[in-house]
Amino acid sequence: MSSIRTLAVVAVFPIILGGCVSGAEYAGKDAGFSTVSTSTRSAMAKNAVWVQNQQQAKALSAQTKALLSREKSLDVDTAVQIALLNNKGLQAAYADLGDSAADAWQTTMLLNPTASVGLKGIGTPELEAFKTIEGALTANILALMTKKRDVALADTRFRQAQLNAAIETLRLAADTRRAWITAVAADENVAQLQRAQAAADAASELAEKLGETGAMAKGSQAREHAFAAELAGEAAKSRLAARLAKEELTRLLGLWGPDMNYRIPNRLPPLPKTIAKRDTVEADALRNRIDLKVARLELEASAQSYGLTEATRYVTDLELTTGLEAERSREDGAKKVDFTGSADIGFAIPIFDSGKARMRKAELAYMRSANRLAEKAVNVRSEARSAYEAYRSSLDIARHYRNNVVPLRSKVEEQSLLTYNGMITNTFELLTDTRETINALVQSVNAKRDFWLAEANLAPAIYGGGSSPGPSETAAAGSGE
């Protein structure tokens, strides 16, 4: 039996050797992650790590705690780094990359041949046990013929998975940066509205006392009380928005338990003195956008798939079967064994299905990928222009509030205080000017927040990982406070 199996394997082994392809580049634990880490580090200057064992998880947990305890308040760059180290959803995306590497590795391996052994003449007394042993080994020749194309297609899909992992990394970094900006701006708004509420409460209390003496009409009293009540509602909404914004940041950071007690600054960074020049923003986006590279690889994969379909249009299954038969017999009282070899090729006859439908589907898949690539190129250029325009305009608007609106309102309040001290104006006029000044400060905070959000959306528009919000979304965000 052993000699029969050996001969059968040797008969088909040259065919197997001819189609072997190395899968060493997919087999390692890195699975192409170093390429992901390098490409994202150049775009965001942060390190991404793929956790694959308990030791790495413990080390990153300790590093996260060290980053949280290093500073009294969490700055935006530290927040992004913690998210990249600690967010479990990102780790799940990296596992998808490992799956793709394993699939590509599997493609480099040949299909296992099918072995079969049969016995004839069982129980024949004169031969003691059996008369004939048949062994066969079947290999898929078509799989060997198309092996190179299969591996090339799998490699393209693997490179797509690498880029998709990089996109997820950049998206998390951009989402974390935006969440940090929103949370800090919400806290700053709470502080401003609390100041306004204190002024409104003072006016309401004064109106009540004046009403008791008959010095103020009930309608005027009601207006002051209503304003104080409405402002209390706005302050409560701002505190809720601040708590929800910090929760969103906490989710992205992947924190829970005692680690959730981190602190963030109570105000946004000041506006930059100079604006970033992006005269070649469209060219930069076309050169660097990772999702555009994914679309190019999709077109390449469609072309490879089209070629593979064309190569197998008529023959969809082609197998080679090699066999060896051993027959025992007795001659002059002595046992004799005769060996007979055989080889068969089986394939489907394309009588009913000539492969035209499969070719049509492959052709349409290629055209679909080509059109999507063209659409992506147009959208990338537009998104880059929109992001830079939002960046420039938001900075101009924020500077306008900082340099013009707030100083003018502060000057009005200062003059109102002087006239009040000189008994020229009354208390309610002073409180009204104070409220208007605080309202201008809130609008200035919102304008500064919109600028930093636009600045955070600029990098994703050039490198990928998230698109900038449209003008209507930006306007809605600005008017929500």
CA 45 to chain centroid: 17
Q: Which residue has the tokens 């500077």?
A: 399
Write down the pTM of the prediction. Answer: 0.75
Residue 458 CA: distances (Å) to CA of 43, 210, 444: 12, 54, 21
Q: ∠153-154-159 over CA atoms, to 5°?
A: 100
Q: Which residue has the tokens 């003496």?
A: 213
| Tens-level pLDDT at each residue, the chain (481 residues) | 333 333 333 333 333 333 444 566 676 677 788 888 888 887 888 888 888 888 888 998 888 888 888 767 899 999 999 999 999 999 988 988 888 888 888 887 766 666 666 655 555 555 454 455 555 555 556 566 667 777 888 888 888 888 889 999 999 999 999 999 999 999 999 988 888 888 778 777 877 887 788 777 787 778 778 878 888 888 899 999 999 999 999 999 999 888 888 999 989 999 998 888 878 888 888 888 998 998 888 888 888 776 756 655 544 554 555 555 555 666 666 666 665 665 555 555 555 555 677 778 888 888 888 888 899 899 999 999 999 999 999 999 999 999 999 899 888 877 766 665 555 556 667 667 777 888 888 899 999 999 999 999 998 999 988 754 443 334 334 444 4
